[in-house]
Chains A and B, each alone.
Chain A
Amino acid sequence: MKHIKTVNKPTMQASLKKGGCGECQASCQSACKTSCTVGNQVCESKK
């Protein structure tokens, strides 16, 4: 495409059916802790 470059292959919609195993790390976003927001994580089952 001339005007648009898509930079990822998102899997969010697909994960509506398959996700939820809960094996991923907890993600506290407060400053005193790991300050890890969900968006900064990867899916553990795809690692």
Chain B
Amino acid sequence: MKTKIHKFEQNGTYILLDVNSGAVHVIDRMIYDLMDTFDGANDEETVSRWGGIYGADEVREAVGELHELMELGELFAPDIDVPPTFQQTGLVKSLCLMVAQDCNLRCKYCFGDGGSYGGERAVMSEEVGRAAVDYIISHCGPRKHCEIDFFGGEPLLNLSTVKAVTEYVRQREQETGKIFKLTLTTNGMLLNEKNIRWLNDNHISLVLSLDGRREVHDRMRPDAGGHGTYDRVLKNFRALVESRGGQDYYLRGTYTKENMDFTKDVLDIHAQGFDILSVEPVVLKDSPLGFTEEDLPRIYEEYDRLTEAYLERHRAGKGFFFFHFNMDLSNGPCVAKRLAGCGAGHEYYAVAENGDLYPCHQFVGREKYKLGDVFTGVRNRELPQYFRESHVLNKELCSDCWARFFCSGGCHANADLFHGDIRKPYEVGCAIQKKRLECAILVQAVMALERMGDDKNEAVSS
């Protein structure tokens, strides 16, 4: 039988997640224990196992409550199979343009070899960029919303192509009725008043890279000459965020083995005036900066600390938006989306500087994953289908994982990096993902209880 429930304790609160319905229940210690035994049809066994500790009448009452949940479809909900809404083949809705396979920084953990992706440093021509726009329009079917992400390397090294593509996108929107969301990921070095104005006027969302405290950032993100970049990028990010009224940006950082106390980095970023942020574990194989199983207890501890700090600030009216704690427990994505996951290789492709298509930006340069190019389209028919079918229900480890409908099967690129197989998730990544999800569910549960006008300790008396 597939895992149907997940129970956990996070920051002193007990939580029961019903995996197949997505229902989240805040429970007391007794229910937490009972769920070791209760399977929906063994009331007497449960009473005799736990009656001695909690009292038979109490246990009966609690079992009664569990049956109420079952009747509502919020406990032991039926297994989810691939629904008909999950189309056999994907429609392309999103492209990542490697507008500059070149970079002005030398980040210690860069997977793209200083932006070059193992090849020559090069930039994308306007012609390739426009062909990519046409490609997405002719392959997105009836879908109205499309996305293009300007990526690199550092995309601002090739602003002329970014501008040409943007102009062409706006023209094609008029002609086709499609709506494009444009995003640009930048290290901030080249931002200036002029290009900030252009980015704002053209409604380009920005993803900004900052690793937290000055010493952490400077150590990990030096420029080509080996000098720290913190002061320079911070100044630019501030100017940028202010110029767009604190909207339409998202600041992200990477933590490594050298800053496992990353709560300090999160809080430092917030203290510098940024409200929309996240930090992420680095993924590196055989590197002193990367993580192994042994690091997990320390990382878990840090997420507990971050959760505490996050809630504290929220309660004091000084909250911020931490991407991974953001979760809409009631209006989350549909099952089809939860299966499609990141969409790499079937709904999402990366376009290399020369126009070659890959399943996603991380696969660029991994030759066996080359799918075709923007001029002649995807010539490899099998791989996109394989990616499409590599969803959570088809991965051995995922199909029985409690996090399957939140995580959607992890990152294919990482699975390929560690196991040479996109269907074998990278285990350390899974462990961190699951911890992060527990924290997010707790945060959302606590906030929901607050909205319900409850004190959680009162409501769930143990």
- A contacts, CB < 8 Å to B: 1-13, 15-44, 46
Contacts and interface: CB of A to CB of B under 8 A. Distances in A.
B163 interface: no
Nearest to B95: A26
Nearest to A28: B342
User: Chain B interface mostly helix, strand, loop or mixed?
Assistant: mixed
Nearest to B392: A38
Nearest to A38: B408
Instruction: Classify chain B's interface size.
Output: 35 or more
B280 interface: yes
B337 A19 contact: yes
A26 B347 contact: yes
Interface of B: 16, 18, 20-28, 30-31, 61-62, 65-66, 68-69, 73-74, 77-78, 80, 83, 85-87, 91, 93-94, 96, 111, 143-145, 147, 149, 151, 181, 183, 185, 207, 250, 252, 254, 278, 280-283, 323-324, 326-338, 340-344, 347-348, 360-362, 403, 405-408, 410-411, 413-414, 433, 437, 440, 444-445, 448-449, 452, 454, 456, 459-461
Contact of B413 (A7, A17, A30, A40): A30
A39 B407 contact: yes
A47 to B, nearest CB: 8
Central interface residue in A5, A39, A40, by most chain B CB within 10 Å: A39
A3 B347 contact: no
Contact of B83 (A5, A19, A46): A19
B407 A31 contact: no
A6 B347 CA distance: 35
A19 B283 contact: no
A12 B78 CA distance: 11
Nearest to A22: B143
Central interface residue in B74, B280, B338, B342, by most chain A CB within 10 Å: B342
